[in-house]
Structure 1
Amino acid sequence: MTPAVFLAILWLVMASSSPSPDPILDAEWQKWKIKYGKTYSLEEEGQKRAVWEENMKKIKLHNGENGLGKHGFTMEMNAFGDMTLEEFRKEMIEIPVPTVKKGKSVQKRLSVNLPKFINWKKRGYVTPVRTQKDRCSGKQAN
């Protein structure tokens, strides 16, 4: 078998084994990408779309079961919809913790003669309680 024929067969096998995108979800995929500002290279687009579609299927299945009373909550697609579980863990859970350098401590020793009680309100460090509602809408708080 010539290398060209072998490569052609290999390409056909790979193309047939990779799932093709569901055309019914095309508009939803485009809307989701715009909503979350997602852009991909040509190589990455197909892979991310396949992951997104798989996650979308899980969400729709779950919500359908929820309608039958199986679950107590619904699910919705979010900005992480194009990530596999491994990608999500790496991005959101596996946070590197910096190592602590051993050396001399810079802390001051606490005074032994600390008072048992301090009234911070009398010292002016505590302010009266204020209503914070409507902070997000830009309205003046009381």
Structure 2
Amino acid sequence: FSSNNTNIFILMKFILSVVILSALIMTSKYVASKEIDTTGANTAPFSSISEVELQNEFSGFVAKYRRSYTSEEEYSRKYEVFKDNLRKIYEHNQKADDLGFTLRMNEYGDLSQKEFSDKFLGYVGDNLNTVKSAQSGENSNSFLRGSNYDEELKDLPISVDWRVNNTVSSVKKQGDCVAGYAFSATAVIESANRISIKNDDELSVQQIIDCTDTSLYQNKGCKGGSVKSSIDYLRAAKIC
């Protein structure tokens, strides 16, 4: 090639590179615009999402939360669970204006309702008609149920947001410890204390887990327990 031909060839390569780069940028923008909205703001119907988009979203979920499945069968099952949960999110958010809140995908997206319940709730039911106070033997049902009021209830607001007046303690995460019973017990007492005596101290969930795993209270540490027994412990320890 002559010098001129060489310069023209280089120029053509440069122009072609720019065109390809522009196309890639446009493609990336298009792909980004097609990402599934799992932030809670989605209003499009779930049926508008393609299978490819769902598969890509699940792959992102697996990477983000470092999921590792033991077999292709488990992967496929978890994918179906993920899709079902995402569908519920979309269906709920379609009615969010009426319901007052939105849902979004989180780290529990590959758990069915039963799997989540078995892994995290761990509630042991209480028979309020027969359970006695662990320390005194006296029936403490009235403490759980609350007092009876004969006053006429009137002029009540349509709704109350307890967060406004700092009557709800901070949200806590229990991890893999199935101790929802202990979190529930402390949350109830914390809110009652904030309302009645203006005390915003937060109680130790770990103390309940450790100190009620006994024959007296019959909780099972990180394997489940009873809200009633936990409150009995708090009363006996003069914490509430």
> What's the TM-score, normalizing by structure 1?
0.50
Matched, 1:31 2:60: yes
C-alpha distance in 2 between matches for 1:83 and 1:101: 33
Q: Which runs of 5+ in 1 are unaligned?
A: 1-20, 103-142
Aligned residue number for residue 22 of structure 1: 51
Distance across 1 between alignment mates of 2:66 and 2:118: 20
The structure with the greater share of residues assigned to helix is 2
Displacement, 1:63? 1.2
Which one of the candidate residues 69, 72, 84 is aligned to 1:42?
72
Aligned ranges 1:48-63 → 2 under 5 Å: 48-63=78-93
2:95 is matched with which residue: 58, 62, 65? 65
Map 1:67-82; keep pairs closer than 5 Å: 69-82=97-110
Q: Which residue of 2 aligns with 1:88?
A: 116
Q: CA RMSD in A?
A: 2.2
**Structure 1, residues 86-114: CA drift from partner, whole Å, max 9, x if none?**
11011111137775147xxxxxxxxxxxx
Q: CA deviation at 1:78?
A: 0.6
In structure 2, list runs of 5 or more residues that go unmatched: 1-49, 123-177, 180-208, 217-240
Shift in Å, 1:22: 2.8
Other-structure match for 2:201? none
CA distance in structure 2 between the partners assigned to 1:28 and 1:101 by the alignment: 48
Aligned length: 80
1:95-142 CA-to-partner distances (Å, cap 9, x unmatched) read 37775147xxxxxxxxxxxxxxxxxxxxxxxxxxxxxxxxxxxxxxxx
Give % identity. Answer: 30
SS class of match (1:37): coil
Q: In 2, Cα distance between the equivalents of 1:57 and 1:101?
A: 45
